[in-house]
Amino acid sequence: MLVLKVSNIVKSRSKFIYLFMRGFRNFLRDFRSNIVTFITIITLIVLFNIFNLTSVVLSSFLSSTTSVDSIRVYMLDADKGDISKLSTDLISFDGVVDVQIFFPSDSKKFIEENTSNIKGLDKFSEQFFPTFIDVKLDAEGIKNIKVLKEEMYKLSNVEYVSYGEKILSKFFQINFITNVFIVVLLILVCISLASVIFNATRISLYKYSEEMKVYLLVGGTRPFISMPYIFSSMIMSLVTSVLAIAIFVMLSSFLNSLLVDIDIFMKTPPIWTYIFQIFILNIFSLISSSISVVLFIKRVSSVNDV
């Protein structure tokens, strides 16, 4: 029984290899006529990756810009005694590691040092600038930042508490929209790739229609007839997607080597995104080539049409 099972596995494996090799032969035979398809697919994938890289760079920029590690507490009365009491209250919160008091003169100085292109700032008196306490948080504090903000509001002499959530939410929206755009682009690329593969497979099938009809005549099963063409399309999409990604990785490394001279480094997408891309693109290619082959074989199903 076991011997029979093993022999069946060996047989089906050798059949698989046989059909795969026929598919590989078809791939080599059609290589020249499929050059346009190769170029189209490679261009599509490289373009997609350029957009993807842009989104990764933007996302990395936004996350570094919006990294929150402190809360600012603005006061109603900036009396020295009140400030000292509030500081003591704030430091007692879990997740708070340090507090730094900014008087109006410090606030003005801080703005002057951290902004540019604000004309006439020096004309404003210090009294127009707020007194606030910058509360530094640890990892746990950052995690519970919303709760901490609510708790700090409850303290006496507190006018306003903020960690820049309005700006953050705008940045998050930009990031979200960029990600949605990339997903939509990936879907469009997959659909385009599927159409290109569908058409390329169909054109190849016309070339092989005589062979297909002879196989039908002599008793070739549908999987026997169709599998090599599907394998051939899969090899084509696998080779092109790997090649496209290799080209893109080389291109981005080259760009990084140029940018490093001006102290800029583009963060490239993680390796798993490339593997995921190859997987998704090849699934789409498998589906489209299978549909193409099955529809074609249906059309040539009568031996007498040979």
* Pairing assessment for the beta strands 132-137 and 70-75 based on DSSP bridges: antiparallel
φ and ψ at 70, to 5 degrees?
A: -150, 160
Stretch of residues binding other proteins (CB under 8 A), selected from 10-18, 75-83, 113-121, 262-270: 10-18
Instruction: List C-alpha distances in Å: 184 to 39, 176, 248, 277.
Output: 22, 12, 20, 14
Does residue 148 sit in helix, strand or coil?
helix
Stretch of residues binding other proteins (CB under 8 A), selected from 109-117, 136-144, 221-229, 232-240: 221-229
Per CB under 8 A, 229 contacts other proteins: no
Instruction: List C-alpha distances in Å: 73 to 76, 97, 107, 211, 292.
Output: 10, 15, 13, 80, 65
- How far is the C-alpha of 256 from the C-alpha of 275, rounded, in Å? 21
Q: Which residues does 77 contact at the CB level (< 8 Å), separation at least 6?
A: 157
144 versus 209: smaller Cβ distance to other proteins: 209
- How far is the C-alpha of 35 from the C-alpha of 33, rounded, in Å? 6
76 versus 217: smaller Cβ distance to other proteins: 217
Shortest approach of other proteins to residue 40 CB, angstroms?
Answer: 27
Stretch of residues binding other proteins (CB under 8 A), selected from 97-105, 123-131, 211-219, 271-279: 211-219
What the block records as the tokens of 11 is 């047989």
How big is the chain by its Cα radius of gyration, in Å? 32
Q: Which residues does 256 contact at the CB level (< 8 Å), separation at least 6?
A: 265, 266, 268
Stretch of residues binding other proteins (CB under 8 A), selected from 11-19, 73-81, 161-169, 251-259: 11-19
Select the residue interacting with other proteins from 9, 10, 174, 306 (CB under 8 A). 306
Per CB under 8 A, 14 contacts other proteins: yes
Stretch of residues binding other proteins (CB under 8 A), selected from 57-65, 74-82, 206-214, 269-277: 206-214
Shortest approach of other proteins to residue 297 CB, angstroms?
Answer: 11
Select the residue interacting with other proteins from 221, 250, 271, 279 (CB under 8 A). 221
Please give the sequence-ordered ranges of beta strands (E in DSSP) within 122-187, or none if there are none: 132-137, 158-162
Residues 73 and 152: beta-carbon distance below 8 Å: yes
Per CB under 8 A, 295 contacts other proteins: no
21 versus 167: smaller Cβ distance to other proteins: 21
Per CB under 8 A, 214 contacts other proteins: yes
What the block records as the tokens of 81 is 């005694």
Per CB under 8 A, 108 contacts other proteins: no
Per CB under 8 A, 259 contacts other proteins: no
Does residue 270 sit in helix, strand or coil?
coil
Does residue 202 sit in helix, strand or coil?
helix
Select the residue interacting with other proteins from 211, 238, 249, 252 (CB under 8 A). 211
Per CB under 8 A, 213 contacts other proteins: yes
Shortest approach of other proteins to residue 203 CB, angstroms?
Answer: 17
Select the residue interacting with other proteins from 222, 273, 283, 287 (CB under 8 A). 222
Per CB under 8 A, 15 contacts other proteins: yes
- How far is the C-alpha of 17 from the C-alpha of 14, rounded, in Å? 5
# of chain residues touching other proteins (CB under 8 A):
21
Give the binding site for other proteins (CB under 8 A). Answer: 14-15, 18, 22, 210-211, 213-222, 224, 302-304, 306
